[in-house]
Copies of this chain bind each other. A is one copy, B any other.
Amino acid sequence: MTKAIFLIQTEDKKGLLASVVDFFYSKSFNILHCQQHTDSYEKRFFMRIELDASDMSMTRKELYDSFNDLATELGLEWSLHWTDYKMRVAILVSKTSHCLYDLISRQLEGELDCEIPLIISNHPDMEKVANQFRIPYYYFPVGDDKKAQEGKIRELLKRFDIDLVVLARYMQILSSEFTEEWKGKIINIHHAFLPAFQGANPYMRAYTRGVKMIGATAHYASEDLDQGPIIEQDVVRVNHELTPNGLKEVGKDCEKRVLASAVKAHLEHRIIIYRNRTIVFAVER
């Protein structure tokens, strides 16, 4: 069944829920799922609505336009998504394969409902993985001119009509031009429980600090490294038995799980960003 999904946010005020629900009801839509959250601290209204779009009495453009009128009147920030469109995801990697294997196999199993038309890397190592799954692999080494290398990537993302960029342990800082252009469309996995251990070598630092749990954080990329809105986090318990390398190995599982979960939430249009925070709606499956 094709669905239309609306993501809505605005300043909280009386009657918002009724107005939105009424709009769809008056157009004879069947609301499959409606989730609403008011942040009482920020006085902010958030909503996700799933409509049955399989048998519409109007065109998609008509729905868009008529909702736009309501949104203007109520001052809503909103977006509309159709589940019969498969998002196109570019995966960026460096030298490690665990997140890459994980994302591809989840996509093949249907858990991640998207297309993966290309893999991009600053190293040649992962080409063999790409070949196993017959996904085109682009290798752009970072030489003296980092700007130029990034330019090639950005050009490729456009040429391939990419909707979402996943940094699956891509160990390069992106320029602010890149993160600005792709705001809310680049998901990064950081191998620590942010905001602990921002920056490089988190497992070494976790060892030195003697923490009893290590974690991973998936977040939208922002200009300041590791400062963007967090989508998902998880941790695993560790103890004194683990060396820095042991922590790293144990952490891999956490990284895979957290990254996949964040990508899935994005693909299913369950995330709204407000300031530096995310509202991640659960979804019935």
Chain A interface (Cβ within 8 Å of chain B)?
Answer: 14-15, 17-18, 21-22, 24-25, 30-41, 46, 96-98, 101-102, 105, 108-109, 111, 132-133, 193-197, 207-213, 215, 229-235, 237, 239-246, 249-250, 252-253, 257, 276-280, 282-285
Contacts and interface: CB of A to CB of B under 8 A. Distances in A.
A246 B42 CA distance: 14
A277 B38 contact: no
A206 B227 CA distance: 13
B230 A212 contact: yes
Given A21-B17, A210-B276, A211-B194, A282 B241 contact: yes
Given A17-B31, A196-B196, A250-B285, 14 more contacts: A14-B30, A15-B25, A17-B21, A18-B22, A37-B284, A39-B240, A41-B244, A195-B209, A195-B211, A212-B230, A213-B215, A213-B234, A240-B279, A243-B284
A34 B209 CA distance: 26
Contacts of A252: 109, 111
Contacts of A15: 25
Give the copy number: 4
B196 A213 contact: no
Contact of A21 (B18, B40, B253): B18
B207 A193 contact: no
23 contacts: A18-B21, A18-B25, A18-B31, A46-B240, A98-B109, A101-B105, A111-B252, A193-B196, A193-B235, A194-B209, A208-B276, A208-B277, A209-B230, A209-B277, A212-B232, A212-B280, A213-B234, A235-B235, A239-B282, A241-B285, A242-B284, A243-B284, A246-B285
Nearest to A247: B285
A285 to B, nearest CB: 3
Contacts of A132: 132-133
A135 to B, nearest CB: 11
Given A25-B15, A132-B132, A213 B193 contact: yes
Nearest to A102: B105
Contacts of A240: 37, 39, 46, 277-280
Contacts of A239: 280, 282
Contact of A36 (B34, B97, B102, B242): B34
A251 to B, nearest CB: 11
Contacts of A283: 241
Given A34-B17, A132-B133, A285-B250, A210 B193 contact: no
A227 to B, nearest CB: 9
Contacts of A40: 243, 284
A165 to B, nearest CB: 21
B38 A33 contact: yes
